[in-house]
Structure 1
């Protein structure tokens, strides 16, 4: 999880359901008309865009913008590996982790869910893989000029593994026989989406779309009763190709997350290395799955499952998703371009 330079949250109107004539005929106040407002800013090294459906009320919108910013800063302060003073960084810096360490409710919730996803995916999702991620040059340290040696990988892999982590739900505490460096980048952004959604629920916002770095959660519908429509991006092998839509899905009260190997990578000595590391091998993934999109009730789960499925590759991931009735959409590199596949649970959400 990264934390880039913050941009002050701003509020803009992005669309409106104009019904002035109807409101006048019904004797309603134009002040009560609901519109879609966007609150945006920067966090986790990316951007966020939150659409809320509300009547025009500048004071309330500014209050929401401040609350959203505070909520995200609290998540970042708990879970960032880029901030040395974050709660997670303090935990990672402990040389002896064999004693119980109490965690904040938020950090415990995320690590607990991560462990559940690890068990479900046979370790394809593993938050202890951070040292290996760093070894390949995708962490807070400077990027390597060459890939790590087999000996370097073996040394780090020998002391990492999600099974080392032990949780005590009664007191929200963690310990590990081997000191671990926990990296929540595959789940914390999704949790940030959920945290904002909970905040908006508490503030009485009945319809919204929360998006942070491409991870999304929706509630209610747009003015006029239209559902939220979201695009699944077409993978692009070159940044110059721009972004194109592969599929459109309609969501109500659900979350969506996508994981792919086509944007975050680097090249060294003619070899391309994906930022997604397979915890089983300690090496970047090299299969033909280019992108996987997962739907779930909460974004934390969607985020972690998308990451795990991206590690597993199409065949293993599709088998698990189908068995567990998980809505998932796969874009796979074929001999003649991209091929798309979806689980039965995903098909009902597709509108285009």
Structure 2
């Protein structure tokens, strides 16, 4: 059994106030579900916190949804060529990092892959019965892309060069988790565990003084936020104490479709135009910010194991890679992840 402990540069969890109450709140947003377990002062009502958390999520959805034609993202995608679009602050934070990561990974992470996502049937429109052929893929890849995006952070505006279609599916949920954390911090909530669509962020300790234990999602899609962990074939489990930490997992087993005996993942490599086809089954990334962990997990999935672990080691990113070759499942950790694990 392996446990992940709090990094040495992280402050100890705050002692819980006397008479603290435990609340379990949940709801729906962004096409998925969310859940928050928190421990706080008795003057914080469940209704107030529920409404506040839902409002934060709905704001992210209103700005970055590909399903809502009135969202800021869809408005940008429809904008005429050569126009500047003013953006709200949350959108600015996400697009700023998304463009940065696209440059860092030479397009392995691509926030402007919307046309390809739609073509392969993983966008808001139902999947077409016609399988994408080479001509349609080339057409979706033609024209302007993420390299043509111009972002002026000080003016909060983004340039639409013409035909660029943004898709924030691989980063918006992580950002939403961070927004919920900021909201709870502003309410002086000392301890919480946040989950939005499988991405998590934690802080503090529970009433019994134990940390918020979670386990890394297994390749069969099972996950849990308690101590009843699923044993892998190697007989090990990965339990993580989330304090001032986030975790995001990208897995090709999550969304896919089969065609003529072959499985096609929802993760698209916009450099080739096709869904990723490598040995990586899943990638889990730990980071203080869930937005960054979310985007990096996707980028690593596209990059493939060798390039991804080299990047993770170079940038000191804690990541766990699960690969499958034939019927064999193997796990490899980046150096930063190994340094945090104790056998």
Shared fold by TM > 0.5?
Answer: yes
What is the CA distance between 1:225 and its match in structure 2?
3.1
What is the CA distance between 1:176 and its match in structure 2?
3.0
Structure 1 segments of 4+ aligned residues over 6 angstroms from their partners: none
Q: Kindly indicate whether residue 203 of structure 2 is the aligned counterpart of residue 219 of structure 1.
A: yes
Q: Kindly indicate whether residue 286 of structure 2 is the aligned counterpart of residue 295 of structure 1.
A: yes
Question: Bigger CA drift: 130-139 or 267-276?
Answer: 267-276
Query: With structure 2 as the length reference, what TM-score do the two structures score?
Result: 0.87
Aligned to 1:155: 139
SS at 1:280's partner residue? coil
Aligned-partner Cα distance in 2 for 1:347–1:300 = 22
Aligned to 1:80, which of 65, 70, 75?
Answer: 65
What is the CA distance between 1:351 and its match in structure 2?
5.9
Aligned to 2:74: 89
Superposition pairs of residues 94-105 of structure 1, within 5 angstroms:
94=79, 96-105=80-89
| Number of positions where the alignment pairs a residue of Structure 1 with one of Structure 2 | 316
Aligned to 1:125: 109
Aligned-partner Cα distance in 2 for 1:340–1:36 = 36
Does the CA contact (< 8 Å) of 2:41 and 2:189 recur in 1?
no
Aligned-partner Cα distance in 2 for 1:228–1:348 = 20
What is the CA distance between 1:54 and its match in structure 2?
1.9
Query: With structure 1 as the length reference, what TM-score do the two structures score?
Result: 0.85
Aligned to 2:24: 38
Aligned to 1:11: none
Aligned CA RMSD, in angstroms, stands at 1.9
Aligned to 2:180: 196
What is the CA distance between 1:224 and its match in structure 2?
4.0
What is the CA distance between 1:88 and its match in structure 2?
1.1
Does the CA contact (< 8 Å) of 1:146 and 1:269 recur in 2?
no
Aligned to 2:4: none
What is the CA distance between 1:226 and its match in structure 2?
2.0
What is the CA distance between 1:282 and its match in structure 2?
0.7
What is the CA distance between 1:99 and its match in structure 2?
2.0
What is the CA distance between 1:339 and its match in structure 2?
0.1
Does the CA contact (< 8 Å) of 2:85 and 2:160 recur in 1?
no
- Higher relative contact order, chain-length normalized (CA < 8 Å, sep 6+): 2
Aligned to 2:261, which of 248, 270, 281?
Answer: 270
SS at 1:175's partner residue? strand
Question: Structure 1 residues 296, 49: CA separation in 2 closer, same or farther (over 3 Å shift)?
Answer: same
Q: Choose 1 or 2 for highest CA Rg.
A: 1
For residues 284-334 of structure 1, give each alpha carbon's deviation from its aligned partner in whole angstroms, at most 9, with x where no partner exists.
011010000001110000000001001111111001001110000001003
Q: Gapped runs of 5+ residues in structure 1?
A: 1-30
Does the CA contact (< 8 Å) of 1:249 and 1:350 recur in 2?
no
Aligned-partner Cα distance in 1 for 2:203–2:308 = 28
Aligned-partner Cα distance in 2 for 1:333–1:237 = 15
Aligned to 1:53: 39
Question: Structure 1 residues 34, 87: CA separation in 2 closer, same or farther (over 3 Å shift)?
Answer: same
For residues 216-263 of structure 1, give each alpha carbon's deviation from its aligned partner in whole angstroms, at most 9, with x where no partner exists.
11122222432221111221289xxxx945421222101110001012
Q: Kindly indicate whether residue 277 of structure 2 is the aligned counterpart of residue 286 of structure 1.
A: yes
Aligned-partner Cα distance in 1 for 2:50–2:330 = 40
Aligned-partner Cα distance in 1 for 2:342–2:65 = 36
Does the CA contact (< 8 Å) of 2:146 and 2:164 recur in 1?
no
